[in-house]
Amino acid sequence: MSSRLPGRPSAAWKGSAFVALCGAAAAIIVAMLAIILADVVRNGWAGLGWEFLVSAPSEGMRGGGVGPAIFGTFALVLLMTIAVVPVGVLTAVYLFEYARPDSAFARAVNLAVSNLAGVPSIVFGLFGLGFFVRFVGGGIDRVFHAGELAWGKPSILWAALTLALLTLPVVIVTTGEALRAVPVAAREASFALGATKWQTISRVVLPQSLAGILTGAILAVSRGAGEVAPIMFTGAAYFLPKLPTRLTDQFMELGYHVYVLSTQSPDIEATKPILYSTVLVLLFLTFLLNATAIAIRARFRAALRPQDA
Amino acid sequence: MEGGSNDATSVKVSARDLDVFYGSTQALHGISLDARANRVTALIGPSGCGKSTFLRSINRMNDLIPGMRRQGRILLDGADIHDPGVDVVDLRRRVGMVFQRSNPFPKSIYENVSYGPRIHGVSDRGTLDEIVRTTLEQAALWDEVKDRLGASALSLSGGQQQRLCIARALAVEPEVLLMDEPASALDPLATARIEELIHELKERYTILIVTHNMQQAARVSDTTAYFYLGRLVEVGPTAQIFTNPAKQETEDYITGRFG
């Protein structure tokens, strides 16, 4: 070879070394997840069973199960969803369909959404206590119950609303992405037929965004289901003899139960097997929700995709 | 009757000194052009010449584009479509549009065709059934889909989807039909069907069609307008434009010397 470019023999192995480094960095995340799962499953699997899933804790947290905490988690998350989805979807529709992107209000909303997403969850907890429990709840009591304590104390309603605030950015952002994914051609087709903006949004844009909106709702749920800090001052209870039946009742919750078992038990060693099993249930629930979100998204995408006749 | 200049039919759409700007760019310069009722007017010219902008001015679809400004008038049956009293919803019902890429909604065939009538207040099932059937017949699609009206519109072939979009546009009983390169994404057979359809539709509608395909313009239109750089260079009976254009630029474009 008579090339005047001598080449750099070191370049090849430097390239390979870099690939190996990137691969190793990527492998760390897989290893971490594997270690966490292995640890939790190994220690928690034996304690799992029908009895564990339905019964209440007993013997000062050393026995029994997590039935009330599972029930409380579902009730909490259901209330949260009812609160967060309409508000989040309406906000996203306003932001991405109606507001001029450069208007002061739209920018303020955008700023609020991205900052809300960055607020530490314990701050939401304190805010929930101060705003929902004391201000709103206390206000209701002063006005309607002559100061008697009914709403102005921690409850599942206030916890759910606090959690809704925490998950609001998730719903807004995923809904916004879903709205933007609706092709211009679909909107134009509707406008060209004489549809108003409202008709186009309600009959074309929102139906086509449904998969994204559902995904957002489920992601919010799976985010909210594991949060402890926002609910510890606003409604979660250490132990309750009965299940919550009213909005003003307190409740037990899986994430909070994990916290209780690991820090508040009189005999931490004795509660360890139960703690592991509880974590396993919590992880399983979260994974299940995420898997559901992915499945729904895939299904709707397939339904919207053109097929060959 | 051949051509448009000594044509007996009335003028349906008429542009007068129409300027359109996108921000600081002027897309149309003083366009004055008439489209006659029950005739096909073809708009030809190289990409970016303003023919689509002109088409989309007639149903005010350009209003949706931020930064769009307009001067001059467009008359529909002699009335200015920009008059404050004109409801753009009503204008778009009277002036239907078929797009370059077929854009059926990801709904059933039936729902696609009935979408327009429904948003304009028709809710009676029998009436909707009737509209769906007659418009699909007009769009020459009925025989192919009558047994599967509930099937997804996306399961149709490209040509069928475009005829469905034509049916969807016809379902609101427009008077004018704007077609923006309706066959450019279709194979020759599907294109031939669309052209055949245009021929039938002009019995009832005023049609303006944008096309890149010279042969298509020659085949389907009665009047041809040649646009270049946002200006209307020449307009006349199609036969004359294609055989004996008045301007050298038109001839150069039509004979393929440029464009």
Convert the pLDDT of each residue in B175-213 to its tens digit: 999 999 998 888 888 899 899 999 999 999 999 999 988
Determine the longest span between alpha carbons in chain A, in angstroms. 98
* Per-residue pLDDT at B153 exceeds 80: yes
Q: CB distance B115–A203 less than 8 Å?
A: yes
What ipTM was estimated for this complex? 0.90
Strands B95-98 and B176-180 turn out to be parallel
Say if the Cβ atoms of B103 and A305 lie within 8 Å: no
Per residue in A4-60, pLDDT (tens digit) is 887 777 778 888 899 999 999 999 999 999 999 999 999 888 888 888 888 888 877
Q: Is A210's Cβ below 8 Å from some Cβ in B?
A: no
**pLDDT confidence of residue A84:** 94
A183–chain B Cβ distance below 8 A for any pair? yes
Query: What one-letter code names the amino acid at B36?
Result: R
Nearest 5 degrees, angle CA A8-CA A13-CA A19?
Answer: 130
> According to the 3-state scheme, what is the secondary structure of chain B?
CCCCCCCCCCEEEEEEEEEEEECCEEEEEEEEEEEECCCEEEEECCCCCCHHHHHHHHCCHHHHCCCEEEEEEEEECCEECCCCCCCHHHHHHHEEEECCCCCCCCCEHHHHHHHHHHHCCCCCHHHHHHHHHHHHHHCCCHHHHCCCCCCEHHHCCHHHHHHHHHHHHHCCCCCEEEEECCCCCCCHHHHHHHHHHHHHHCCCCEEEEECCCHHHHHHHCCEEEEEECCEEEEEEEHHHHHHCCCCHHHHHHHCCCCC
Q: Is the pLDDT of residue B2 over 50?
A: no
When pLDDT is averaged across residues A121-150 and rounded to a whole number, the result is 87
In this complex, is the C-beta atom of B41 within 8 Å of any C-beta atom belonging to chain A?
no
Q: List the 138-167 stretch of B: residues with Cβ below 8 A of A.
A: 152, 154-157, 160, 165
Cα distances (Å, whole numbers) of residue B251 to A211, A302, B225: 53, 49, 12
Q: What are B187's two structure tokens?
A: 């194979």
Query: A175 near A216, Cβ under 8 Å?
Result: yes
Those residues with Cβ within 8 angstroms of residue A223's Cβ, 6 or more apart along the chain or in another chain: A166, A167, A170
Question: Of A185, A207, A309, which has the smallest distance from its Cβ to B103's Cβ?
Answer: A185
DSSP helix, strand, coil percent of chain A (3-state; round to 5): 75, 0, 25
Partner residues linked to B208 by β-bridges = B41, B178
Quick: pLDDT tens for B215-244: 899 999 999 999 999 999 999 999 999 999
pLDDT at A7: 75
Q: Which spans in A145-205 are helix H? A: 156-180, 184-192, 197-200
Query: Which CATH architecture describes the domain A45-308?
Result: Orthogonal Bundle (1.10)
Residues of chain A with C-beta less than 8 angstroms from the C-beta of B154? 304-307
> Would the pLDDT of A265 be above 90?
no
Percent pLDDT > 90 in chain A is 36
The percent of residues in chain B predicted with pLDDT above 90, rounded, is 76
Cα dihedral value B79, B85, B87, B88, nearest 10: 60
Which residues pair with residue A232 across a beta bridge? none
What is the greatest pairwise CA distance in chain B? 56
Q: Is A182 exposed, middle or buried (0-12, 13-18, 19+ CB in 10 A)?
A: buried
Q: Any bridge partners for residue A220, and if so which?
A: none
- Among B99, B115, B172, select the one facing A185 at the smallest CB separation: B99
Mean pLDDT over each residue of chain B, to the nearest integer: 91
Which band of pLDDT confidence, cut at 50, 70 and 90, is reported for residue B160? very high
Amino acid A2: pLDDT: 60
pLDDT mean over A212-216 = 88
Tell me what percent of the residues of chain A surpass a pLDDT of 70. Answer: 96
Q: What is the mean pLDDT of residues B39-55?
A: 92
**Rounded to whole angstroms, what are the CA distances from B64 to A103, A207, A260, B9, B88?**
17, 21, 57, 32, 11
Q: What is the mean pLDDT of residues B50-55?
A: 93
Is A192 in the B-facing interface, judged by CB distances under 8 Å?
yes
- CA angle centred on A132, ends A131 and A135, rounded to 5°: 55
Q: How is chain A split into domains, by residue range?
A: 45-308
At what angle are helices A104-118 and A156-180 packed, to 10 degrees? 120
Q: Which residues of B touch A305 (CB under 8 A)?
A: 154
Residue A101 to residue A176: CA distance in whole angstroms: 13
Question: What would the mean pLDDT of A279-284 be, rounded to a whole number?
Answer: 91
* Crossing angle (nearest 10°) for helices A254-263 and A67-93: 130
A10 vs A302: which has the higher pLDDT: A10
